[in-house]
């Protein structure tokens, strides 16, 4: 079976044809051009899927989308103003009408969590928390084999846990949110200020830190402390056995993971850390595509 999988991010729209074993073919990406608005984005995705449909007998379309998603209706229930008119966009209605195939739509981090459960670090684990730590911070909550989505599909928006009183300004309008301090964007902004640089990337920061540069050591140490602060709130709220860290930082591997774990352990009561396992995500860069395709497969099975 072949599924057209689409991952709509703020910068890029990834696409690929996923089979029921999780192999991806005909992969590619196009620019999102968010400022052109929702209808332009949907129109260009429809062109991509139409091309796929000529080469593969598609059984449906799985879409991972930025923003809070009403999974049952396939509508964006809330989003920031990154894409004008994104809130209320009926993604499922649009593609079902245009392409006459079954469609599922789910939030991007929830799709990552599903992919980790299907092919990654959470195989065989029915309850776990997935956090995506990159330019922002998002989360997915798996409880007894099912995603926990919340009343208005906003469950797991860990990026807006408040961790610093009067802290840095966040995209949501508040100050001191988790993602304003612990995202990779936050790390890079802080490095620019402290090192008086116009430009630096995450990779260079970690490289200089590994080389023993004191300024970067302190910077990364502070950032790891922020990551652990947010994780602590998550751990005491859910008492999970497994937390998976995905997103941009997962590329740093065990080197970073162990330091986060060490910092977190200093902050937790013994009962919470007794069986807690932290893992980096392992379903790969295309986990959004995999998760969206898996949801479509489940949907076809009537689950």
Task: State CA 98 to chain mean position distance.
Answer: 28
Task: Tell the smallest beta-carbon distance from residue 270 to Zn ion (Å).
Answer: 31
Q: Considering beta carbons, is residue 177 or 242 the nearer one to Zn ion? A: 177
Instruction: By CB under 5 A, tell whether 160 contacts Zn ion.
Output: yes
Rounded to the nearest whole angstrom, what is the least distance from the CB of residue 180 to Zn ion in the complex?
Answer: 6
- In this chain, which stretch among 44-52, 81-89, 160-168, 191-199 interacts with Zn ion, using CB under 5 A? 160-168
Tokens of 209: 């830190």
Which of 43, 55, 123, 172 binds Zn ion (CB under 5 A)? It is 172
Q: For Zn ion, which is the closer residue by CB, 181 or 232? A: 181
Q: 284: left (phi > 0), else alpha (psi -120 to 50), else beta?
A: left
As measured in angstroms, the least distance from the Cβ of 201 to Zn ion is 24
Instruction: Identify which range of 35-43, 152-160, 214-222, 231-239 contacts Zn ion by CB under 5 A.
Output: 152-160
Residue span binding Zn ion (CB under 5 A) among the ranges 12-20, 34-42, 119-127, 162-170: 162-170
Q: Which tokens go with 300? A: 């076809």
Helix, strand, or coil here: 47? Answer: helix
**Least Å distance between CB 172 and Zn ion?**
3
How many other CB atoms are there within 10 angstroms of residue 57's CB atom? 7
Residue 181 is a binding residue for Zn ion (CB under 5 A)? no
Nearer CB in complex with Zn ion: 174/262: 174
Taking CB under 5 A as the rule, does residue 14 contact Zn ion? no
Residue of 48, 59, 55 whose CA lies nearest to 1: 59
Task: Give the x-and-dash track for 245-284 against Zn ion (CB under 5 A).
Answer: ----------------------------------------
DSSP 122: T
Tokens for 26, please give them.
């005909």
Q: Which of residues 130-149 bind Zn ion (CB under 5 A)?
A: none
Q: Which is nearer to Zn ion, 170 or 289 (CB)?
A: 170
Q: How many alpha carbons fall within 13 Å on the CB side of residue 112? A: 30
Provide the phi-psi class of 124: left if phi over 0, else alpha when psi is between -120 and 50, else beta.
Answer: left
First to last CA, the chain: 17
Which lies closer to Zn ion via its Cβ, residue 185 or residue 213?
185
Least spacing, CB of residue 159 vs Zn ion, in Å: 6
Q: For residue 227, which of 132, 293, 143 has the smallest C-alpha distance?
A: 132
If you search the block for the tokens 């602590």, which residue do you land on? 232
Q: Are 16 and 25 in contact (CB under 8 A)?
A: yes
**Angstrom distance (rounded) from CA 143 to CA 102:** 26
Which CB atom, from 81 or from 174, has the smaller least distance to Zn ion? 174
Q: How far is the CB of 154 from Zn ion (least distance, A)?
A: 12
Select from 61, 147, 177, 249 the one that contacts Zn ion (CB under 5 A).
177
Binding site for Zn ion (CB under 5 A): 160, 170, 172, 174, 177
């Amino acid at each position: 079976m072949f599924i057209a999988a689409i991952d709509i991010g703020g910068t890029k729209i990834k696409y690929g044809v996923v089979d029921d074993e999780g192999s991806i073919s005909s992969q590619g990406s196009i620019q999102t051009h968010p400022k052109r608005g929702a209808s332009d984005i949907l129109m260009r995705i429809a062109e991509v899927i139409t091309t796929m449909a000529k080469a593969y007998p598609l059984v449906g379309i799985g879409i991972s989308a930025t923003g809070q998603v009403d999974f049952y209706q396939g509508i964006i229930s809330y989003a920031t103003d990154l894409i004008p008119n994104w809130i209320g966009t009926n993604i499922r209605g649009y593609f079902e009408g245009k392409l006459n195939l079954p469609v599922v739509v789910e939030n991007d981090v929830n799709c990552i969590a599903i992919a980790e459960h299907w092919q990654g670090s959470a195989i065989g684990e029915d309850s776990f928390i997935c956090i995506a730590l990159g330019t922002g911070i998002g989360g997915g909550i798996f409880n007894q084999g099912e995603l926990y989505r919340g009343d208005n599909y906003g469950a797991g928006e860990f990026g807006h846990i408040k961790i610093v009183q009067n802290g840095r300004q966040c995209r949501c309008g508040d100050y001191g949110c988790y993602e304003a301090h612990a995202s990779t964007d936050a790390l890079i902004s802080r490095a620019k200020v402290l090192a008086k640089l116009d430009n630096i990337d995450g990779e260079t920061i970690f490289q200089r830190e590994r080389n023993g540069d004191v300024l970067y050591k302190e910077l990364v140490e502070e950032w790891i402390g922020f990551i652990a602060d947010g994780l602590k709130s998550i751990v005491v709220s859910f008492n999970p056995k497994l937390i998976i860290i995905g997103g941009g930082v997962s590329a740093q591997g065990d080197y970073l993971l162990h330091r986060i774990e060490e910092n977190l352990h200093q902050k937790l009561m013994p009962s919470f850390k007794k069986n807690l396992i932290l893992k980096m995500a392992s379903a790969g860069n295309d986990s959004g595509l995999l998760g969206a395709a898996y949801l479509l497969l489940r949907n076809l099975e009537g689950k």
